[in-house]
């Protein structure tokens, strides 16, 4: 005769807590004491309890699934280390709450249309939106469908309707340029991120505000626009060398773009950091492997991923949308030593 499947009530009895407390722990609620959480998790381990997803769905009206929606081309998921770090952190945070991760990529109009149909059809309880671009019709369609959303970075034009968790992009960009100014650099250029993204806009704003505060006129010739990718970093560096060959420092809004700028500078006979100092943004694994290693702004993606999942459970529960900003910090390495 087969052994009866353990239930939530079995877990509650084993842990010495109420049925409601076990339910709150399983659903990731944040009003349970750390002691009770540990007791419940220990009891789950001892009893061998596993949730019945079909029963839970029928009882709660929830699917138990969360979508990680990337609105960038598929290849960037593997090429840009930020996305993989964020995905790994989100997967762990969802696993801790016994929620299932669904990965979706929607970079083309057809993919976006399919994504909206799926996400608005009740197949997921909420969406973790990564790299949103202002003006993308997908955003309005998801909001109008009342899909719970938390974005990585504020969504321009939807700040009061879509919850978000952002790095301090403005403060990070400003600290990067202030570091270069402190090293005596005065002809500081930037390779920006996309200007239809929150990070792209506010890292550039940090750059311009730092120069203005130092009494340096912001010259448009020193600003080129990239899209976070290596290709745009290399192209942007070539453009800057053609426009302003006297450049003595570059702040690139991503490590990928900064890393791609280094060989372009070498090919032009410019030494880093001797002739040109370079600072990136992210502190991805890539930053420590370049030659020389990149000075960069640390983008706290591990914390951001945890905060995104926590905030999404609040949004699903009907709480008012919020925007959270996580501090950044400067990591000094060989491309712009102190």
Answer yes or no: is pLDDT of 30 > 70.
no
Q: Choose among 149, 152, 132, 143: nearest CA to 87.
A: 152
Q: What confidence score (pLDDT) does residue 191 get?
A: 98
Q: What confidence score (pLDDT) does residue 59 get?
A: 45
Cα 152 from Cα 324, distance rounded (Å): 10
Residue with the two structure tokens 């501090």: 327
pLDDT, one tens digit per residue, over 249-290 is: 999 999 999 999 999 999 999 999 999 999 999 998 899 999
Q: What confidence score (pLDDT) does residue 175 get?
A: 98
Please confirm whether the linkage preceding 273 is cis (ω < 30° from 0). Answer: yes
Please report which confidence band the pLDDT of residue 321 belongs to, taking 50, 70 and 90 as the band edges: confident
Q: Give 295's contacts (C-beta < 8 A, 6+ positions apart).
A: 176, 179, 277, 278, 279, 280, 330, 331, 332, 333, 334, 335, 336, 337
Look up residue 197 and give its DSSP letter: S
What percent of the chain stands above pLDDT 70? 93
Q: What confidence score (pLDDT) does residue 62 get?
A: 66
* Count of alpha carbons within 13 angstroms of residue 108, beta-carbon side: 3
Cα 85 from Cα 287, distance rounded (Å): 14
Q: What confidence score (pLDDT) does residue 184 get?
A: 97
Average pLDDT over residues 110-132: 88
Q: What confidence score (pLDDT) does residue 317 get?
A: 85
pLDDT, one tens digit per residue, over 76-105 is: 677 777 888 899 999 999 998 889 999 998
Q: For strand 163-167 and strand 323-326, is the pairing parallel, antiparallel, or unpaired?
A: parallel
Which residues face 167 on adjacent strands?
326
**Contact predicate 85/284, CB 8 Å:** yes
Average pLDDT over residues 287-314: 94
Please report which confidence band the pLDDT of residue 177 belongs to, taking 50, 70 and 90 as the band edges: very high
Alpha helices in the chain (DSSP H): 8-15, 19-26, 34-47, 53-60, 74-79, 81-96, 109-119, 137-144, 169-182, 198-213, 230-243, 255-267, 301-316
Q: Give 20's contacts (C-beta < 8 A, 6+ positions apart).
A: none
Q: What confidence score (pLDDT) does residue 89 get?
A: 93
pTM, full prediction: 0.78
Q: What confidence score (pLDDT) does residue 205 get?
A: 98
Answer yes or no: is pLDDT of 1 > 60.
no
- Residue ranges covered by each domain of the chain: 8-60, 65-167+302-326, 169-299
Q: What confidence score (pLDDT) does residue 28 get?
A: 64
Topology adopted by domain 169-299: Rossmann fold (3.40.50)
Cα 277 from Cα 294, distance rounded (Å): 10
Write the CA distances from 164 to 77, 156, 252, 309, 325, integer angstroms. 20, 11, 24, 10, 8
Q: What confidence score (pLDDT) does residue 113 get?
A: 87
- Two domains, one topology: 65-167+302-326 and 169-299: yes
Residue with the two structure tokens 């309005």: 140
pLDDT, one tens digit per residue, over 5-23 is: 788 888 889 999 988 888 7
Determine whether 242 is exposed, middle or buried from the number of CB atoms within 10 Å of its CB (0-12, 13-18, 19+): exposed
Average pLDDT over residues 318-327: 88
Range with the poorest average pLDDT among 20-24, 40-44, 230-234: 20-24
Task: Report the chain's mean pLDDT, rounded to a whole number.
Answer: 89
User: 44-48, 139-143, 167-171, 316-320: which has the highest mean pLDDT?
Assistant: 167-171
Alpha helices in 61-197 (DSSP H): 74-79, 81-96, 109-119, 137-144, 169-182
- CA distance between the termini of the chain: 71
Topology adopted by domain 8-60: 434 Repressor (Amino-terminal Domain) (1.10.260)
**Contact predicate 327/298, CB 8 Å:** no
Residues in the chain: 338
Answer yes or no: is pLDDT of 204 > 90.
yes
Average pLDDT over residues 58-66: 65
Cα 169 from Cα 300, distance rounded (Å): 11
Q: What confidence score (pLDDT) does residue 54 get?
A: 44
**Span 65-167+302-326: which CATH code?**
3.40.50.2300
């Amino acid at each position: 005769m087969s052994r009866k499947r353990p239930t939530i009530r079995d877990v509650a009895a084993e842990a010495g807590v109420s049925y409601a407390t076990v339910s709150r722990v399983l659903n990731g609620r944040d009003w349970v004491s750390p002691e009770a959480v540990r007791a419940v998790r220990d009891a789950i381990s001892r009893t061998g309890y596993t949730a019945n997803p079909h029963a839970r769905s029928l009882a709660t009206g929830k699917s138990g699934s969360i979508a990680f929606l990337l609105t960038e081309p598929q290849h960037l998921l593997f090429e840009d280390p930020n996305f993989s770090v964020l995905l790994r952190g989100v997967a762990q945070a969802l696993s801790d709450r016994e929620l299932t991760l669904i990965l979706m990529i929607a970079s083309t109009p057809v993919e976006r249309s399919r994504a909206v149909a799926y996400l608005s059809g009740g197949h997921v309880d909420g969406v973790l939106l990564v790299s949103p671009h202002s003006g993308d019709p997908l955003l309005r369609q998801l909001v109008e469908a009342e899909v719970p959303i938390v974005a990585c970075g504020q969504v321009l034009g939807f700040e009061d309707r879509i919850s978000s968790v952002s790095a301090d992009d403005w403060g990070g960009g400003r600290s990067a340029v202030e570091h270069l100014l402190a090293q005596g650099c005065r002809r500081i250029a930037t390779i920006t991120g996309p200007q239809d993204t929150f990070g792209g806009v506010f890292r550039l704003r940090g750059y311009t505000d730092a120069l203005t505060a130092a009494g340096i006129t912001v010259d448009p010739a020193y600003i080129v626009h990239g899209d976070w990718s290596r290709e745009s970093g290399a192209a942007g560096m070539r453009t800057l060398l053609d426009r302003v060959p006297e450049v003595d420092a570059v702040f690139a809004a991503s490590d990928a773009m900064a890393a791609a700028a280094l060989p372009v500078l070498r090919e032009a006979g410019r030494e880093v950091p001797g002739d040109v100092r370079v600072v990136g943004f992210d502190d991805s694994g890539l930053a420590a492997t370049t030659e020389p290693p990149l000075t960069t702004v640390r983008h706290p993606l591990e914390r951001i991923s945890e905060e995104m999942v926590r905030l999404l459970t609040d949004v699903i529960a009907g709480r008012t949308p919020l925007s959270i900003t996580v501090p950044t910090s400067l990591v000094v390495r060989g491309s712009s030593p102190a």
